[in-house]
C-alpha cells in the first residue's frame, strides 16, 4: 500500500483561477481526483498553503511549509505526513490521472527510492511519481541549500526512470500526467473529451 499526495499549492497565474476547482464532469476537479485515488489508497493527502477552500473534502489536509518553498516543499510535507513507506505525488492539474498507471508504477519500485516517468524528450515527470519516505533527508538537504527544483534531490537517491518504451504499455498516449496550465489548455481538453 502507498499514500497519495496531491499538491494544490500553485498560484495558477496562467490559468487565472484555481485549477483545483475547475468544473470537471460536473464537480470540482480536486473532488474528482481525490475520489478517484481513494480507490487505490486509504491515505490521500492534499497539500496547499491555504487549506480553507479544501475543508470538507475526503482527504487529509496538510499545509505547505511556511514560508512556501514551491512544490518540493509540498512533496516534503506530503512524505512527512504519509502513513506508508511509499507515496505517489501528483499535481492537482492532471484531470486524466489514472490510478491503474500508478499501480503499474508501484510494481516497478524494486530497489529504488523513486519511480519517475520520462517523457518523449527524456525529461522526468516529478509530479506524477512515486517516492519512498526515506527521500525526506535528501529533500531537506536540497531545501537547506535553497534548491527548489523538483529533481534537485535526485542525485542523492536511487531513481528508477521509466522511459516511453515502458510506460506506453499502460498509457499509450501519456494521458495520465497531462497537465493543464492555461484556459486554452482547458478548452482543448474539454473539446477532446466531448465537453
Residue 168: band (very low, low, confident or very high) from pLDDT cuts 50, 70, 90: very high
Q: What pLDDT was estimated at residue 9? A: 78
pLDDT at 113 over 70: yes
Q: How many domains, the chain?
A: 1
* Backbone φ/ψ region at 48: left (φ over 0), alpha (ψ -120 to 50), beta: beta
Give the C-alpha separation, 44 to 37, whole Å: 7
Q: What pLDDT was estimated at residue 118? A: 98
Q: What pLDDT was estimated at residue 195? A: 57
Helix (H, G, I), strand (E, B) or coil at 120: coil
The residue among 195 and 137 whose pLDDT is bigger is 137
pLDDT at 52 over 90: yes
Which segments of the chain are extended strands (E)?
3-7, 23-24, 27-28, 44-48, 60-63, 86-91, 114-117, 128-132, 159-162
Residue 194: band (very low, low, confident or very high) from pLDDT cuts 50, 70, 90: confident
The angle that helices 70-81 and 136-144 make with each other, rounded to 10 degrees, is 150
CATH number at residue 83: 3.90.550.10
Single pTM value for the model = 0.95
Average pLDDT along the chain:
94
DSSP-assigned letter for residue 2: -
- The whole domain housing 150 covers 3-192
Residue 10, judged by CB atoms within 10 A of its CB (0-12, 13-18, 19+), counts as buried
Cell 533527508 appears where? 137
Amino acid at each position: 500500500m502507498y499514500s497519495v499526495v496531491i499538491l494544490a499549492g500553485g498560484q495558477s497565474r496562467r490559468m487565472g483561477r484555481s485549477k483545483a476547482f475547475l468544473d470537471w464532469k460536473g464537480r470540482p476537479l480536486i473532488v474528482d481526483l481525490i475520489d478517484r485515488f481513494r480507490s487505490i489508497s486509504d491515505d490521500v493527502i492534499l497539500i496547499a498553503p491555504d487549506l480553507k477552500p479544501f475543508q470538507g473534502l475526503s482527504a487529509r489536509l496538510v499545509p505547505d511549509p511556511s514560508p512556501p518553498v514551491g512544490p518540493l516543499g509540498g512533496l516534503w510535507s506530503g512524505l512527512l505526513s504519509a502513513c506508508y513507506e511509499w507515496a505517489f505525488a501528483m499535481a492537482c492539474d492532471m484531470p486524466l490521472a489514472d490510478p491503474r498507471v500508478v499501480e503499474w508504477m508501484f510494481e516497478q519500485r524494486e530497489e529504488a527510492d523513486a519511480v519517475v516517468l520520462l517523457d518523449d524528450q527524456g525529461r522526468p515527470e516529478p509530479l506524477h511519481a512515486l517516492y519512498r519516505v526515506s527521500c525526506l533527508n535528501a529533500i531537506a538537504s536540497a531545501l537547506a541549500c535553497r534548491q527548489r527544483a523538483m529533481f534537485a534531490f535526485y542525485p542523492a537517491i536511487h531513481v528508477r526512470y521509466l522511459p516511453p518504451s515502458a510506460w506506453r504499455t499502460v498509457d499509450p498516449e501519456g494521458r495520465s500526467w497531462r497537465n493543464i496550465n492555461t484556459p486554452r489548455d482547458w478548452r482543448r481538453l474539454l473539446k477532446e473529451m466531448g465537453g
